[in-house]
Structure 1
Amino acid sequence: MKFRKVLSNRLAVSVRFALSISALVAVVPVFAQAGNSDQGRPETAKKLETVTVTGSRIPRVDMETAQPVLTIDRAQIEKQGAASVADLLQNLTEAGSPTISRANALSSGEDVGGYYIDLRNIGSTRTLVLLNGKRLGATTSGRQDLGQIPASAIDRIEILKDGASSVYGSDAIGGVVNVITRKNFKGAEANAYLGQYGQGDGAAQVYDFSLGTSNERSSLMLSVQQYKEDPVWAKDRSYSRYPNGSRYPTTGWSLVSQNGAFSGLCGAGGDPAWCTLTKGSDPRDIANYRPLAPSERTNFAEQMMLQTGLERTSVFVSGHYDVASNVRFNGELLYNKRSTRQQIAGYPFSTGGFDMPLSGESYFNPIGKDVAFLRRGWEVPRTTNSELESFRFVAGFEGGFDIGDRLWNWDVSALHNRNDLLKTGHGDFNLVHARNAVGPSYLGSDGKVHCGTSASPVSDCVPWNPLLPYGQAGHGSLADPALQTYLFPEFHDTGRTTTTMYSANLAGSLFSLPAGDVGMAIGYEYRREQGRFAPDAFNQSGLSSGLPATGTSGKYAVNEGYVEFDVPVLSDKAFARELSLNAATRHSRYSNFGNTTNSKFGVKWKPMDDLLVRGSWSQGFRAPSIDNLYGGANGTFAFYTDPCDTVSGSAKGNGSVAARCSSGFGGQAVLSPGFVQLGQGGSPCTSYPCQTNYQFISGSNDKLRPETATTRTLGLVYSPSYAQGFDVSLDWYKIRIDNSISTDSVTDILEDCYLRGITARCSSFTRDPSTGAITSMFFGLTNKGWLETAGYDIGVNYRLPKFSFGQFKLQWNTTYVDYLNEKSDNNPDTKVQPLNSYAGNFRVRSNVMLDWALGDFGANWSMRYYSGMKERCVAVAMAECNDRNHVAPDTGARPLRRVASTIFNDMQFRWNAPWNATIALGANNVFDKVGPTMYSQPNSAFPYYGGFDIGRFYYLKYQQRF
């Protein structure tokens, strides 16, 4: 409560500060005009006649560069049905799978709730996000949240589809997203966005307003946004209603039932089994227990969110003031408060995981001796509320001066960004209290059950009967509020990251060549990153049923200098209307790993006025993040498919894999010919991937080296003069990342060991020699070899001539991925792993939009195409396995399941009302398309791709200008 009060106070202070500046803006222009009424246009305005395009520091008079840059302007943003700009960017054909999908309620850590763009599907930490040309603050994992920028403040978004480490430094490998805010905004504007899914859930509400004023000497703008999206529950969609999409309890449902069970002989005798109480009967009479039937397994999806809830409040203030004819002050303030709520099913308590039997001296024990038990905490679902408060401040000066007849522009600035995090979790057991609650207990003379014995009672303890079914009243019921308070405390994780940066830049023209001026930019930056993340003390000590974790804490600093040149070679010549070269290099000195230098070369050639040919070669790098280097260890109950499983693993159809499993390859236990992977409760898995019954550990690596990258692009833009309003572009790209920093996974380790025969990987886990179950595993970060991708971007834009029935515009963008390959190490015998077309890595994505306008009316229709996907065949999908003879280049025989492509359609109608307003009504996924079932659960906790639409979404947008 104290932390929330602090957040509220800080928000109030920020809003008051912003409103105070807005009030002051009415006074500033008066003084500016009074003091400079005889002065002409300030010298700083001269530089506004040129533009600085993302990917270069040299101002120029046109937007065309040697690099492919996609621009989304404000008009395009308003014609989309996205609730946020981040949603709009996720629909780009160049964008990869969402890094932390809101369809994965099992996600944890400090990044949950943010929007992180991933260009080229090579990881969001390899895409750099800028706000007005300067970095956004990052989390300890290095991710930058796009969602914190109010849409009302945005003028345009420039997406550089090329590497740019020579200009911007670390992280700019897959590309750069530069969000540019509105300048010299005058007046006021208010917007409202309301929407919900056709099923009546997932309601979205976005309200914002902007105020601005400007004159020849100053400007100031304030934008405030309130954003809220309600959660969507898994039980309300057909593809997420049941575990692994199966309505049959024997396939994927959890053995750990909310009705409770103990391991022993049920009733008066019989074979050992998990014994559960017949509902409504006396839980202390052994005769009332019977074997737990397969149909009584738990559908944990009933308590899970399909899409998490989210709230945001954002405040953005920006402005400038010309303190002299050639000196301008610029300032920005961004405040953002984000709250994300997740819910998953109550904790599946298993004594096997904690060595905590129901005591034979417990009043609730029906057989009088210690017994292992299973009981899901159905009465108290697990919830996590993540509150993140961000504060960003940028201030600086810019100006210009003449050397002869050449104008040089300069700027100096300082940036400070801070993120404060509070995560509040509820629903995990306090293991100290749980041990007492299932220990000895007795019925007192007061008719109540007490902990301990009558001779030695235990105070401050509430006894628990884990064998009492959900919904049945009685002593020790988990529905008892006192017991819930005792067993389920709130757990708090806290974190803070700060980014501090100082920069100075100088740009202008050196001298003239026959083809034009030689441009140059030079600059220096100092940046310091510091971060910590502290899990709750109970989680750090392993005293809760939550995943154990240790703290993250670290910092580093970097000094960087760069220089860039733009050289015109030919101009107005035959087959060379323009030919220019661009070159840049940047040297970085990191406090934690040393030096790196990265360069870039580009060429722009116009053989004729209608055709532009462009190409570039660049070096890039990504420095390990604070979490990569100094993060703590974290526990996880991972989902995976064991290759040695003879039912659904690779051993079923791959003889070499079966031979390695049965021979104890890599020093592991020898597995029986009929080995089946064991899941929760130690029972054989019936669906895959299957969740382990043992806690695995993942962690950081302070020995990581920076990633290095080489990016190549080659493209053309054709804008025929005989077809006004028409242009087509084609760009080829190739990215190679060496020493790639990757998070290992259970599946990768097991497949490297058994499928690819890499013996070194077999030492990362341990098997039980009797059951063959994997009882322990460590998978941390590593420099994993290399990652390489190549493909093509195709863009077509056509503004048709005006007709009596309206103006039409066509936009068509397609990305074709030629390949996306990964190699886990640099061993020449290790085979390359193809990732293209596997779930979430689409070979083709394509968007088409047709826009129509006539007077005050307009409409648009768009289609979003995703090519088909493929995944491994597992038992639950064996009947749908349609490529059983597939042979993979890295693993050999590997049957596949292929699914068809998916198309979503969107539409919008708009009207410019006579009272200076615009009203738009639309629907995303008009035909309520449902994507294919994906048992591999890509970017999701359910058998459905986490980047797909989850229903037909209706919305209403209202904009009022004053």
Structure 2
Amino acid sequence: MMTFTPPFARGRRLALFTSAGIAALAISTPAFAQEVETNEEGQLEAAETPTNAIVVTGSRIASPTVESPAPLQVVDAQVIDDAGVTNIQEVLLENPVFGTPGLSRTNSAFLTSGTGVATVDLRDLGSDRTLVLINGRRVVGSIAGSATVDLNVIPTQFIDRIDILTGGASSLYGSDAIAGVVNFVYKENFEGIEANAQYGITEEGDDARYQANITAGTNLSGGDGNIMVHFGYSNEKGLLSNSRANTRVDDLDSIYFGGEFGEPTEPYYSSFPPQGRFVTSNGTFTYDPNGNLQDCFTTNGPTCTATIGSGTGPNGFNRQDFRTLAVPVERYLFAARGNYALSDNISLFAEGTFNKTTSSRIIEPFPLESGGANGIFPTDGGFNIENYLPGTSTIVANPFVPAEILAAATDSNGDGLRDIGFARRLSEFGGRTGSTTRDFYRFVVGLEGGLFDDKFSWDISYNYGDVSENQVSSGQVNVINFRDALAVRSEVGDENGNGIAGEAICIDPEARANGCAPANIFGAGSMSQDAVNYIQAQGTYQTGITQQVVQANLSGSLFELPAGSVGIAVGAEYRKESSFSDNDALTNAGLNAGNVLPDTSGSFDVKEAYGEIRVPVLADTPFFEILEVGAAARVSDYSTVGTTFSWNVTGTWAPVDDLRFRATYAKAVRAPNVGELFSGLSQTFPSGLTDPCEGIGATGGGALGDNCRADPGVAANIAANGTFTLNQSDIQGISGFNGGNPDLQEETATSFTAGVILNPRSFDALRNLTITADYYDIEVEDVISGFPRQFSLDQCYGQGNATFCDLITRRPTATAVNSAGSIDLINSLSVNASVLKTSGVDVTATWFTGLGLLDNDRLSLRGAYTHILEYDFFSLPGGDADRADGEVGTSKDRFTANLAYGTGDFRMSFTGTFIGSAYIDDQFDGSRVYEIPAEFYLDMQTTFFAGDTYEFYLGVDNLLDNDAPNILSGVTGNVTGSDTAADVYDVFGRRYYAGVRLNF
């Protein structure tokens, strides 16, 4: 039977350094200590361990003190319990040091991979620049080609605490720690059984969430060892756009029509309707809601002028009826830890984690058109409604084509056959769906012990991780089969031998032999199931990622100085990572009416060695209670980029017991990952680009005009039109390829942090108050990225930079669809060229006291605040800055605050999260004009300690039921289907949960 500590007591023990639901660092933050206790005066101290030493995240030196020279925040188990979350990402994202997640339930429905993945990134510097650890060791990534860790693999209820180190830490932990480290520390040496079950649902009765967890542990051989295991299950059911009033109908921001920003223009349907839109030289045709043909089309208007039919509208399609706001995610988790003393100085340890995550998505049925880069007939855009009988010069008409459309059609491409253009929503195929399963395996085994009467501690370990993903998607088409199914004629007799003469059949005999069924695209629901079966293409996507790490560490006291021990740590590490991603053959070739996506595979290995030293200079002298300096360095030898070097220097000064100053200066690195190095050329179709040459004439325009006219296609266009002229197909027909670069080098970052910690222990009224304030400044150089395509255009033609001109391909002559000189391709390959800068201030505060209103009561207040001073991206060093500070997702001001009151019988907690006002990205409107108001979310939970072994709790998230601000379709920051920045603001509304915890 375990010795049960009531949650109230557990909270007291960690009160000094938990903060705001996202615990903030107080004076000191233990990272790997087995236990942390408060002394009789409520102050933090290290518990006794075999060596009377602990290791703090941000240093690898074991020390009897628990101070950190770098800004460090901690989330403890009480904070996680108070939040009532299913996925730990939800807790972390309340912390203002974290930026907008790259992947989450609310921004991954439209992705070709990564659906349902949960990530975090410190300082908004990107998930690949945030190093995620479990118990101080690396975790294999879950996104092919990337180091990005999916937090779905973290068993929430198995976490003892989370250490959050901000600032460059590559010298201590290696590549990827440019923004900092998030270290998940699992429970250990646990005895007994701890279980919980929870159910939650929104006020609208959707997105139900279930979770159940159990942790069990026992000692072995009279205390020589311990083993503990954890089993967990969670299920978040998901949310569709049609479940909320503000997202049920397609809309567009009214700003596009001269209206107010944030006001929806509804409906703003898609022009790809299920009944089809058919374009001829003599008019456009569609079908009204009653299935009657009309020779006019209006996407959103109520009527259109028709000669045939009634001209009823709108004829567009409401995509929102199919879209997903939050994808469903189901998880199975297993985790285990164990240790056993082999002798007085050597112990065996092991840990393992297994996770299976499944997720799915649905979006609107596929929109298909005859022309365009992804159309069925991309060359000339024409769908022949007449064809030659095989082997003859006899022309036959497609029997599905209505007589009115046949009469209006002409031969637009000169092949002697009448053709039309069409656009159609493939509703017969159903919504586009995707089902994803990810399996995560990780185990660590090693030895640890002490040397020289425990003056030094050592460990050696092997860490293996493996992630596999299998994804199956539907709703796509086989373009080749679709072309065959559109080439249709009537039988001459009973050619298919089914006893019915004169049926519509596919013209190509070979296609018929392969099962071709004729496709009737005229009218809603007109396509037969046989045609759907022949045309539809199931998409598949598989990935595999492996990571192997062997590392050894030694730390301890080198010798004594008058001010204390000189601590050192040294170590070595070998790491190998490999990754592959494999799409189906149609996707590889771009023959499923989608973009060309290549397969990618690659690997790298790295050998590393590091050293760290900490020197106490003065102690216990006037104005120098503590003066300590430290340094660390790491050298790494990569198979890809060669040798890299990172280092840091630190300083800590406490003039008196109650006041402490700290500073860190670091050089950090991030080596390119497999995807950045080895990914092939994947196709994309960028929007919103402006061709600098548009409107240029035969003379004038300065250097811009000369650069434009130097292109033969542009010159031909000017000669034909007087000025360089583009049509709508030219604007929408720009394609390009993104790709990796095997010649990439590492990113390098300089980070500086300086802070102060105030804990006025000399004053009784304030002895439980701790305030920290830290300034940070991070500059990342040689940033790995592709140049923005508009930037490439402007550099090529505005500046005459030939390097950027090499990325652009223009059409030399006109086609049936596109103009001469129009842009065909703008490629964007990964390079080391850009610069990223950010700076700001973090402030945290914690305070607790007994009020005496009830027996053994306690009131606690905690807060964490971040103010961003600067966040600038420079495509080229010395170029113009693209500011992000103060824009949506990077609000200048954010804070989280927590108020809790409780006794041994109950605990009530309120957590408020503030997101400051923000502007829409100035790349959208050219200036900061459109402002999104500030948002405040309030959560609460009440826990009842009904007995020594069980407790009940209930909570409400978004207690005030705040709606997300309108960031509508077409506006930068909008997450498709959500009418807001769904990865920044709450899209669920008020939601409730209740649960029970048992301890035996």
TM-score by length of structure 2 reads: 0.81
- The answer for the alignment partner of 1:173 in structure 2 is 178
- The answer for the alignment partner of 2:286 in structure 1 is 276
Query: Which one-letter code corresponds to 1:940 in the other structure?
Result: V
Query: Which one-letter code corresponds to 2:931 in the other structure?
Result: R
- Counterpart-to-counterpart distance in 1, 2:670 and 2:511: 60
Are the structure 2 counterparts of residues 441 and 521 from structure 1 closer, same or farther at C-alpha, using a change threshold of 3 Å?
same
Are the structure 2 counterparts of residues 927 and 763 from structure 1 closer, same or farther at C-alpha, using a change threshold of 3 Å?
farther
Query: Which one-letter code corresponds to 1:167 in the other structure?
Result: L
Q: Does 1:706 align with 2:746?
A: yes
Q: Does 1:848 align with 2:897?
A: yes
- The answer for the alignment partner of 2:356 in structure 1 is 337
How big is each residue's C-alpha offset from its partner over 1:595-653, in whole Å with a ceiling of 9 and x where there is no partner? Answer: 0111110011111000110000011000100000011222234443547799xxxx9xx
- Counterpart-to-counterpart distance in 2, 1:48 and 1:56: 17
- Kept after mapping to 1: 8 A contact 2:100/2:890: yes
- The answer for the alignment partner of 2:8 in structure 1 is none
Q: 1:816 aligns with which of 867, 875, 878?
A: 867
Please list every run of 5 or more consecutive structure 1 residues that lacks an aligned counterpart in the other structure: 1-43, 266-271, 472-476, 685-691, 876-880, 882-892
- The answer for the alignment partner of 2:61 in structure 1 is 58
Instruction: Please give the secondary structure, in 2, of the residue aligned with 1:913.
Output: coil
- Counterpart-to-counterpart distance in 1, 2:669 and 2:313: 53
Deviation at 1:784, TM superposition (A): 2.9
Query: Which one-letter code corresponds to 1:296 in the other structure?
Result: N
Are the structure 2 counterparts of residues 413 and 281 from structure 1 closer, same or farther at C-alpha, using a change threshold of 3 Å?
closer
- Kept after mapping to 1: 8 A contact 2:612/2:633: yes
Query: Which one-letter code corresponds to 1:958 in the other structure?
Result: V
Q: 1:736 aligns with which of 760, 768, 779?
A: 779
Q: 2:236 aligns with which of 201, 222, 229?
A: 229
Instruction: Please give the secondary structure, in 2, of the residue aligned with 1:337.
Output: strand
- Counterpart-to-counterpart distance in 2, 1:510 and 1:860: 46
Alignment of 1:663-678 (within 5 A): 664=708, 669=714
- Counterpart-to-counterpart distance in 2, 1:564 and 1:841: 35
Deviation at 1:710, TM superposition (A): 0.7
Q: Does 1:832 align with 2:848?
A: no
Q: Does 1:306 align with 2:313?
A: no
Return 510-519 or 780-789, whichever deviates more.
780-789
- Kept after mapping to 2: 8 A contact 1:47/1:409: no
Q: 1:905 aligns with which of 912, 932, 938?
A: 938
Q: 1:715 aligns with which of 755, 769, 772?
A: 755
- Kept after mapping to 2: 8 A contact 1:737/1:788: yes
Instruction: Please give the secondary structure, in 1, of the residue aligned with 2:580.
Output: strand
- Counterpart-to-counterpart distance in 2, 1:635 and 1:923: 44
Are the structure 2 counterparts of residues 284 and 579 from structure 1 closer, same or farther at C-alpha, using a change threshold of 3 Å?
closer
- Counterpart-to-counterpart distance in 2, 1:748 and 1:955: 48
Instruction: Please give the secondary structure, in 2, of the residue aligned with 1:428.
Output: strand
- Counterpart-to-counterpart distance in 1, 2:646 and 2:630: 14
- Kept after mapping to 1: 8 A contact 2:193/2:216: yes
- The answer for the alignment partner of 2:998 in structure 1 is 960
- The answer for the alignment partner of 1:264 in structure 2 is 280
Return 749-758 or 787-796, whichever deviates more.
749-758
Deviation at 1:546, TM superposition (A): 2.8
- Counterpart-to-counterpart distance in 1, 2:180 and 2:531: 53
- Kept after mapping to 1: 8 A contact 2:458/2:553: yes
- The answer for the alignment partner of 2:162 in structure 1 is 157
Are the structure 2 counterparts of residues 719 and 464 from structure 1 closer, same or farther at C-alpha, using a change threshold of 3 Å?
farther
- The answer for the alignment partner of 1:244 in structure 2 is 252
- Kept after mapping to 1: 8 A contact 2:291/2:524: no
- Kept after mapping to 1: 8 A contact 2:703/2:798: no
Deviation at 1:224, TM superposition (A): 1.1
Return 594-603 or 656-665, whichever deviates more.
656-665
Query: Which one-letter code corresponds to 2:757 in the other structure?
Result: V
Deviation at 1:278, TM superposition (A): 3.9
Are the structure 2 counterparts of residues 311 and 642 from structure 1 closer, same or farther at C-alpha, using a change threshold of 3 Å?
farther
- The answer for the alignment partner of 1:430 in structure 2 is 478
- Kept after mapping to 2: 8 A contact 1:239/1:933: no
- Kept after mapping to 1: 8 A contact 2:252/2:265: no
Deviation at 1:409, TM superposition (A): 0.6
Alignment of 1:71-86 (within 5 A): 71-86=74-89
Deviation at 1:59, TM superposition (A): 0.9
Are the structure 2 counterparts of residues 871 and 45 from structure 1 closer, same or farther at C-alpha, using a change threshold of 3 Å?
closer
Deviation at 1:485, TM superposition (A): 2.3
- Kept after mapping to 1: 8 A contact 2:294/2:311: no
- The answer for the alignment partner of 2:506 in structure 1 is 452
- Kept after mapping to 1: 8 A contact 2:199/2:995: yes
Return 770-779 or 50-59, whichever deviates more.
770-779
Deviation at 1:129, TM superposition (A): 0.3
> How many corresponding residue pairs?
870
% identical equivalent positions: 27
How big is each residue's C-alpha offset from its partner over 1:64-88, in whole Å with a ceiling of 9 and x where there is no partner? Answer: 1211110111111111132221211
- Counterpart-to-counterpart distance in 2, 1:661 and 1:461: 55
- Counterpart-to-counterpart distance in 2, 1:673 and 1:297: 37
Deviation at 1:695, TM superposition (A): 4.3
Deviation at 1:302, TM superposition (A): 1.7
Q: Does 1:917 align with 2:950?
A: yes
- Counterpart-to-counterpart distance in 1, 2:722 and 2:900: 62
- The answer for the alignment partner of 2:314 in structure 1 is 295
Query: Which one-letter code corresponds to 2:777 in the other structure?
Result: K
Query: Which one-letter code corresponds to 1:927 in the other structure?
Result: L
Q: Does 1:576 align with 2:630?
A: no
Are the structure 2 counterparts of residues 752 and 75 from structure 1 closer, same or farther at C-alpha, using a change threshold of 3 Å?
farther
- The answer for the alignment partner of 1:537 in structure 2 is 585
- The answer for the alignment partner of 2:34 in structure 1 is none
Instruction: Please give the secondary structure, in 2, of the residue aligned with 1:79.
Output: helix
Instruction: Please give the secondary structure, in 2, of the residue aligned with 1:172.
Output: coil
Deviation at 1:763, TM superposition (A): 4.9
Return 696-705 or 329-338, whichever deviates more.
696-705
Backbone CA RMSD of aligned residues: 3.2
Instruction: Please give the secondary structure, in 1, of the residue aligned with 2:890.
Output: coil
Deviation at 1:739, TM superposition (A): 0.2
- Counterpart-to-counterpart distance in 1, 2:892 and 2:709: 35
Instruction: Please give the secondary structure, in 2, of the residue aligned with 1:86.
Output: helix
Return 696-705 or 408-417, whichever deviates more.
696-705
- Counterpart-to-counterpart distance in 1, 2:502 and 2:245: 45
Instruction: Please give the secondary structure, in 2, of the residue aligned with 1:739.
Output: strand
- Kept after mapping to 2: 8 A contact 1:633/1:698: yes
Deviation at 1:104, TM superposition (A): 2.9
Alignment of 1:363-374 (within 5 A): 363-366=399-402, 367-368=405-406, 369-374=418-423
- Counterpart-to-counterpart distance in 1, 2:841 and 2:928: 29
Alignment of 1:630-709 (within 5 A): 630-640=678-688, 642=690, 664=708, 669=714, 682=729, 692-693=732-733, 695-709=735-749
Instruction: Please give the secondary structure, in 2, of the residue aligned with 1:76.
Output: helix
How big is each residue's C-alpha offset from its partner over 1:644-669, in whole Å with a ceiling of 9 and x where there is no partner? Answer: 799xxxx9xxxx99996998489595
How big is each residue's C-alpha offset from its partner over 1:718-738, in whole Å with a ceiling of 9 and x where there is no partner? Answer: 000111211100000000100
Query: Which one-letter code corresponds to 2:865 in the other structure?
Result: T
Alignment of 1:184-223 (within 5 A): 184-214=189-219, 216-223=223-230
- The answer for the alignment partner of 2:114 in structure 1 is 111
Q: 1:319 aligns with which of 329, 338, 363?
A: 338
Deviation at 1:240, TM superposition (A): 3.3
TM-score by length of structure 1 reads: 0.85
Alignment of 1:585-664 (within 5 A): 585-640=633-688, 642=690, 664=708
Please list every run of 5 or more consecutive structure 2 residues that lacks an aligned counterpart in the other structure: 1-46, 255-262, 297-305, 378-382, 387-396, 407-417
Are the structure 2 counterparts of residues 281 and 567 from structure 1 closer, same or farther at C-alpha, using a change threshold of 3 Å?
closer
Return 184-193 or 440-449, whichever deviates more.
440-449
- Counterpart-to-counterpart distance in 2, 1:413 and 1:632: 35
Return 704-713 or 454-463, whichever deviates more.
454-463
- Kept after mapping to 2: 8 A contact 1:105/1:305: no
- Counterpart-to-counterpart distance in 2, 1:163 and 1:678: 49
Return 439-448 or 947-956, whichever deviates more.
439-448
